[in-house]
Structure 1
Amino acid sequence: MSVPCVFCDLIRDDSATWVAVEEHAVAFKPLAEDALAPGHTLVIPRIHREGLFGPTEVELAAVMDLVRLVARAMRTELGSTGTFLLQASGPDSGSTVAHLHFHVVPCWADDEADYWPVARSAHIGHPDPYVAIRSALT
């Protein structure tokens, strides 16, 4: 039996306040108590995909294209002067919903909001993580 997914339930029940519905991705309004700013929008793949490694290249590209379209609409229609993207993948990321999702949050000069993380990781790992990452990419 699969784990229930609140985002899959929204798609199946057609119970979200949709901002955009496309072939591979959808955008919708978060619950009022979860909204970080006016116009804050969630963008997800239509099919349940877990984290950044779950979607196909086509699905991930469709999600990112929709993220950009939503951010552009925020700029042109809401007058936002910035956009903050939030995405967390994996069990140790703090995400509460496994279905890949991006929070697209519009920002303005008078927000007085700071979405940037203030805590820093205490993890001690590879002596030069950038060498390891570069090696994995080549």
Structure 2
Amino acid sequence: MNCVFCALVEAGSARWVARGPVASAFAPLAPIAPGHTLVVPSSHFADLFDTPPEVLTETVALVRRVADTMRSALRADGVNVLNAGGPGSEQSVPHLHFHVIPRWHDDGFSTWPTGRSQHQVQGDPIARLASAVAG
């Protein structure tokens, strides 16, 4: 199987926010906002429908931790959690993943962004998230 997310998890080559045996979080290659994070099961599951409930529970718990941390560490006004399930939904990588995107009143995009955020965050937002999610 040639799954890009499985390869990242196996190689450890991503910018990690959190890594665990069941769920992991990392920065996407082309973030649409400072701190944009992908949360995935650490093992391969194609989408929500393919994922065992106990894995989905731990994955969504990590989504919540990352989202909570965005509000505190990045001072986001809100957070979008986005998921596309299956090829008919425009799912770009056939591995369950959630986009966790910090939002600010002045970020310049709508709920499903088509461009890049105009918001600036001081320092390295992924490093701040990684530190805060870790503990």
* TM-score normalised by the chain length of structure 2: 0.80
Residue 67 (structure 1) aligns with:
63
Q: Is 2:95 the counterpart of 1:99?
A: yes
Deviation at 1:28, TM superposition (A): 0.2
Counterpart pick for 1:21 among 6, 19, 22: 19
Deviation at 1:113, TM superposition (A): 1.1
| Superposition map of 1:1-138 within 5 A | 2=1, 4-31=2-29, 34-116=30-112
Matched residue type, 1:22: G
Deviation at 1:49, TM superposition (A): 0.2
Structure 2 SS opposite 1:92: helix
Q: Which runs of 4+ in 1 moved over 3 A?
A: none
Please tell me the root mean square deviation across aligned C-alpha atoms, in Å: 1.5
Structure 2: tracts of 5 or more residues without a match: 114-135
- Greater Rg by CA: 1
Matched residue type, 2:45: R
Give the number of equivalent residue pairs. Answer: 114
Deviation at 1:6, TM superposition (A): 0.3
Cα deviation 1:81-122 (Å, max 9, x = unaligned): 1111111011211111000000000001111111338xxxxx
Bigger relative CO (Cα 8 Å, ≥ 6 apart): 2
Deviation larger for 86-95 or 66-75: 86-95
* TM-score normalised by the chain length of structure 1: 0.79
Structure 2 SS opposite 1:39: coil
Distance 1:116 1:78 in 2: 20
Structure 1: tracts of 5 or more residues without a match: 118-138
